[in-house]
Structure 1
């Protein structure tokens, strides 16, 4: 592989000014758009020796055939130009956005002669003002039903409104009191527009002046003994309070902010956007982002804010934007947002108090959205079929891998080493066939992989010879006996073995396959840092597209094997901790629980002094001394008879 790119600019050719750059392929398609405060410094990062580049960056620059740049006067100008070009060219290597689901909005058609309020998922109605999105469509309808009691604006369709204005007969919603537009002949076009403006003002910030005004008018009507009017105003006030109660107060009433919770892995990110107006959550949306290049958290926030506010109206840009991490050009973004809003905008990180709690909630929702996104793709039959077909093609297999086994190793600083095997059939987990392996002695992870696969593959030969040998199981696990003539589930051969790791782990697994005589089984490894697929004897990894169903399937296998290995390792460590302490003379179950609860682990207890152990209620000086000596591996003191006490040999060391 060449170490340099043919289209690399000549030394000194790239200016040091701020600007925007574009990578194009041989057909002229824009592959990637980026901005820089110093174009020469930024582009030099892409033209470093290829072997030093991130794998996904290397794929982008080798796909490209040219690079061009445009110098701009200021950093803010580069921000604006970058956003415009991303919108125009939709480059495949920039982050790609897609809604996690289609949310309903409340829309007020301000561009109409008599604006109407409606529920829609269409965000392209000319001149419309949107509120939301709302997580449930019934929540939008409930809000509208309550609001039109206070602000009676039009709800009928355009055709009904046109027919009513031509015939002079109110529309059906107007006849039953559900539409307060001009077609009902209760208000004029101008009066209706004023009511619409009040509706929008209330929804924009939950303006408390409406509550105060209705309360004052209700009290005045009651004082004048106009009880019917007072009752009408009371019902309107109740409707306003119901709308306010539907959106809980999460921040002080004078706070208008947008808050973003982000959860990400190597290839994707989920964004949870909370719209807070008047201290209340007025809208929630979830977005999934596909990352083609490796970008930092700050750069991801930068691109999220550009997307959200790039086409936003001035009223939709809040006074404050709360994010989990500041983007590297936060000052430039604040200037850009200020130009769009017309007033100052602050980008800040929520560190403490109510804001931090709300950010944690948004981040939790983002994590769940990311998990749903990843599992949804592997639970669909069509997606599973495509994943297995793509995996077959990428690995050069003769048939689709209907049975896949994935292996992982877990340990705690080199101790309590265990291996895990998870099984997927037809793209779905078969948890009844998961297995755990206890590894007594090993040198490193590659040796552990070799041991685990050697032991696993031995069961294939035993099954072929008619043996009904049971598989390796964790200490203490029950072994289920099977009928002699029945082929054990553990003996079914997989079409594909996957190991968690890169080239060293794959080579160790390949050696186990050769030694066992099962080289017909396909093998690959997945390296977590770059999510690349390694094959035996290949110098370079296989890079699956970030949107590939095959990659999501392999990732899920790897994550499941990792989870299963850690779970077993923790269970075993817990048993080891209790076994060490249970060997101490005079230490019962209740005191063991108290010690572990107080110190947290045997390691912490082993580092404690006798005085610290005595501080625990129920532990006297003599017992504390015994515990300390036992954990330190010191011999027990003589009992005064000149003979050592009778303590089992295995209890003398930890």
Structure 2
């Protein structure tokens, strides 16, 4: 652990302007980002008497090896820059919000030619409108009911194109739950207007549509068109069913998100009710890892940043009112920032009495229940992971805790399509965003040991190169004795030595195999001059742990949590390698005459086949017709035509190299 005095800025170096600061560890990784109205006052508080620091702040400043700051023009700019860096670098000691489950949303992809209604989870996409979140059962029922009144396209891209080519709609088109724009039953403009009506209804304008249908039904009855009146009556019932599913809790003009929190010393459970048009349209829950010492006001500020920060693509997801039990820190600038994202006024209020305060109490009770459930699960999970890491460290006699473990596996079939995988575990949890896969060719694919040597060499050669590049960048920017001076620039980029990809070394390398694989990995590290990374191998048959330069394995008890952890890491590396190997093998099994056309890559091949429908139709087209496909110019079209019509005769079509089946 570093001594904060070793990188403390000299007196007078830190400006008194507002700005954003970031602490880095010994590898240059940003571990904490903060903002301050007065940078000098705020940063000096971190270098006070260690005995006066709170435990988490004490751990952070001793984990850090340098501090850097950037001045800005105002507190609002500091808020925006702080959010940008937290989102980009995910610092370890900042508040981290994670959703305790994946919630489905009703989404309308307005950016497509024919907008599509679908149930979506995960990250939001640009050009798509979202409504929810809902429970899984309720959203399916809602979507099925609304498609009766608003028959917007809901099929996949593949189904849509198949219908366009065949001239026949899918099943939904036959049962009147799709307007079938694919076969021209409705124009593109009318279908888009139908999708916009769907969005307006879900956005809170249900009453307008119901009244419109009631007037149409009355007119149909007056004209004695009872069949049409009956259909309209059923549509009205369907819309009311959706509209009345959510209880009215506030006045119909109320659009608000209501938050509540329940916390302990380690974490906090956050609940939010989404109220639109006075009705509860959805509920969500988060667990906050309180890895920094933060007041409740700071907690609410970071919550607002992370919940609504991604709304720049979906401004309608930010309501006009945000109700919280306590005002966030710097709430005036926070409201101004949110108003800029929304494109309209945003109010952050603390309800004191009435219906809103009563609803907040309900949200708080939900947060209490969520926290109690999470505590029971967390107790077992944290204890198990800590025990596993401690057992491994003691069994392998390692001097440092196992903060990061990397596991490697080689996959091939009789020496063909050789690939390798690298999976990463930090603090006992998988870091899937840092998984890597390697293709291995040439002499390195001779056997498993040569492949393992090649992969370890490539991975740590990247680490050494990026470390050297970062050190050169830091030296050029004026870092002295482990202290980064203020640069006055924007976000740190590659020129400032920002680590990426392979920049962080593990404490432990695990290879799938026994003595030969361990020796190959150890030799690769030794040849690169790396001596502070431990290497072990986990042999499958007896689950023995092999270490370099030892004639006997380390035997972990069968009930050992450390052994269970190694097995899970090894199995994950094997799964990841097998998945990559199968994909590479499947691609190698299919050869096409289009592969021989110079300048025709995979993307243009796909566009060509999508335009014509099959290789047979591509072969039948002339150069002018080929040039009509997306991305195909006249020169490339002529090259394709010449390749498919050589003097040697008709070339072989695409075939499956395993079965011999022609892939037309």
Where on the TM-score scale, by shorter chain, does this alignment land: which range? 0.5 to 0.7
Alignment partner of 1:367 is 2:368 = yes
Alignment partner of 1:331 is 2:326 = no
| Secondary structure of 1:293 counterpart | coil
Task: Give the distance between the partners of 2:11 and 2:29, measured in 1 at CA.
Answer: 25
Q: What residue in structure 1 maps to residue 40 of structure 2?
A: 40
| Secondary structure of 1:12 counterpart | coil
Q: Could you say what the CA RMSD is over the residues aligned between the two structures, in angstroms?
A: 2.4
| Secondary structure of 2:362 counterpart | helix
The 3 A distance-change label for structure 1 pair 2 and 129 is closer
The 3 A distance-change label for structure 1 pair 185 and 15 is same
Q: What residue in structure 1 maps to residue 75 of structure 2?
A: 75
Could you tell me how far 1:41 is from its partner in structure 2?
A: 1.7
Provide, for residues 296-332 of structure 1, a one-character-per-residue CA deviation record: whole Å limited to 9, x for no partner. 1110000000001111022111111111100120000
Query: Does the 8 A contact of 2:300 with 2:329 survive in 1?
Result: no
Q: What residue in structure 1 maps to residue 28 of structure 2?
A: 28
- Counterparts in 2 of 1:413-424, with a 5 A limit? none
Could you tell me how far 1:389 is from its partner in structure 2?
A: 4.3
Provide, for residues 92-111 of structure 1, a one-character-per-residue CA deviation record: whole Å limited to 9, x for no partner. 00011222011222111112
Query: Does the 8 A contact of 2:351 with 2:357 survive in 1?
Result: yes
> Considering only CA atoms, is the larger Rg found in Structure 1 or Structure 2?
1
Task: Give the distance between the partners of 1:215 and 1:369, measured in 2 at CA.
Answer: 43
Could you tell me how far 1:343 is from its partner in structure 2?
A: 1.2
Could you tell me how far 1:259 is from its partner in structure 2?
A: 1.2
Could you tell me how far 1:195 is from its partner in structure 2?
A: 0.4
Could you tell me how far 1:341 is from its partner in structure 2?
A: 1.3
Could you tell me how far 1:66 is from its partner in structure 2?
A: 1.3
| Secondary structure of 1:179 counterpart | coil
- Counterparts in 2 of 1:308-387, with a 5 A limit? 308-312=307-311, 313-378=314-379, 385-387=384-386
Query: Does the 8 A contact of 1:170 with 1:185 survive in 2?
Result: no
Task: Give the distance between the partners of 1:181 and 1:275, measured in 2 at CA.
Answer: 33
Alignment partner of 1:17 is 2:32 = no
Could you tell me how far 1:178 is from its partner in structure 2?
A: 2.6
| Secondary structure of 1:205 counterpart | coil
Segments of structure 2 that go 5 or more residues without pairing to the other structure are 398-560, 563-664
| Secondary structure of 1:5 counterpart | helix
- Counterparts in 2 of 1:410-449, with a 5 A limit? none
Task: Give the distance between the partners of 1:302 and 1:384, measured in 2 at CA.
Answer: 31
Task: Give the distance between the partners of 2:383 and 2:65, measured in 1 at CA.
Answer: 35
Task: Give the distance between the partners of 2:317 and 2:327, measured in 1 at CA.
Answer: 21
Q: What residue in structure 1 maps to residue 55 of structure 2?
A: 55
Provide, for residues 280-300 of structure 1, a one-character-per-residue CA deviation record: whole Å limited to 9, x for no partner. 111211111111111111100
Could you tell me how far 1:126 is from its partner in structure 2?
A: 4.5
Q: Flag the structure with more relative contact order, 1 or 2, with Cα contacts below 8 A and sequence separation at least 6.
A: 2
| Secondary structure of 2:27 counterpart | coil
Task: Give the distance between the partners of 1:389 and 1:188, measured in 2 at CA.
Answer: 62
Task: Give the distance between the partners of 1:186 and 1:212, measured in 2 at CA.
Answer: 27
| Secondary structure of 1:246 counterpart | coil
The 3 A distance-change label for structure 1 pair 80 and 246 is same
| Secondary structure of 2:192 counterpart | helix
Query: Does the 8 A contact of 1:4 with 1:49 survive in 2?
Result: no
Could you tell me how far 1:361 is from its partner in structure 2?
A: 1.2
| Secondary structure of 1:23 counterpart | strand
| Secondary structure of 1:332 counterpart | helix
- Counterparts in 2 of 1:288-299, with a 5 A limit? 288-299=287-298
Task: Give the distance between the partners of 2:341 and 2:385, measured in 1 at CA.
Answer: 44
- Counterparts in 2 of 1:116-515, with a 5 A limit? 116-135=116-135, 137-183=136-182, 185-312=184-311, 313-378=314-379, 385-389=384-388
| Secondary structure of 1:69 counterpart | strand
Provide, for residues 568-614 of structure 1, a one-character-per-residue CA deviation record: whole Å limited to 9, x for no partner. xxxxxxxxxxxxxxxxxxxxxxxxxxxxxxxxxxxxxxxxxxxxxxx
Task: Give the distance between the partners of 1:198 and 1:12, measured in 2 at CA.
Answer: 61
Task: Give the distance between the partners of 1:270 and 1:175, measured in 2 at CA.
Answer: 47
Query: Does the 8 A contact of 1:95 with 1:289 survive in 2?
Result: yes
The 3 A distance-change label for structure 1 pair 165 and 343 is same
Could you tell me how far 1:391 is from its partner in structure 2?
A: 7.0
| Secondary structure of 2:93 counterpart | coil
| Secondary structure of 1:142 counterpart | helix
The 3 A distance-change label for structure 1 pair 230 and 71 is same
Could you tell me how far 1:122 is from its partner in structure 2?
A: 3.5
Provide, for residues 331-355 of structure 1, a one-character-per-residue CA deviation record: whole Å limited to 9, x for no partner. 0001101111111110001221111
Query: Does the 8 A contact of 2:30 with 2:89 survive in 1?
Result: yes
Q: What residue in structure 2 maps to residue 455 of structure 1?
A: none
- Counterparts in 2 of 1:519-598, with a 5 A limit? none
Q: Which moved more, 1:190-199 or 1:22-31?
A: 22-31
Could you tell me how far 1:377 is from its partner in structure 2?
A: 3.3
| Secondary structure of 1:311 counterpart | helix
Could you tell me how far 1:369 is from its partner in structure 2?
A: 1.5
Q: So what's the TM-score if we normalise by structure 2?
A: 0.57
Task: Give the distance between the partners of 2:61 and 2:268, measured in 1 at CA.
Answer: 23
Query: Does the 8 A contact of 2:97 with 2:303 survive in 1?
Result: no
Could you tell me how far 1:387 is from its partner in structure 2?
A: 4.7
Query: Does the 8 A contact of 2:148 with 2:176 survive in 1?
Result: no
The 3 A distance-change label for structure 1 pair 62 and 2 is closer
Query: Does the 8 A contact of 1:261 with 1:323 survive in 2?
Result: yes
Could you tell me how far 1:392 is from its partner in structure 2?
A: 7.0
Segments of structure 1 that go 5 or more residues without pairing to the other structure are 399-548, 551-654
| Secondary structure of 1:301 counterpart | helix
Alignment partner of 1:85 is 2:91 = no
Q: So what's the TM-score if we normalise by structure 1?
A: 0.58
Query: Does the 8 A contact of 1:270 with 1:370 survive in 2?
Result: yes
Provide, for residues 191-224 of structure 1, a one-character-per-residue CA deviation record: whole Å limited to 9, x for no partner. 1100000101111124421122112222222222
Provide, for residues 403-452 of structure 1, a one-character-per-residue CA deviation record: whole Å limited to 9, x for no partner. xxxxxxxxxxxxxxxxxxxxxxxxxxxxxxxxxxxxxxxxxxxxxxxxxx
Aligned residues: 396
Could you tell me how far 1:156 is from its partner in structure 2?
A: 1.6
Could you tell me how far 1:44 is from its partner in structure 2?
A: 2.1
Query: Does the 8 A contact of 1:24 with 1:67 survive in 2?
Result: yes
Task: Give the distance between the partners of 1:239 and 1:12, measured in 2 at CA.
Answer: 70
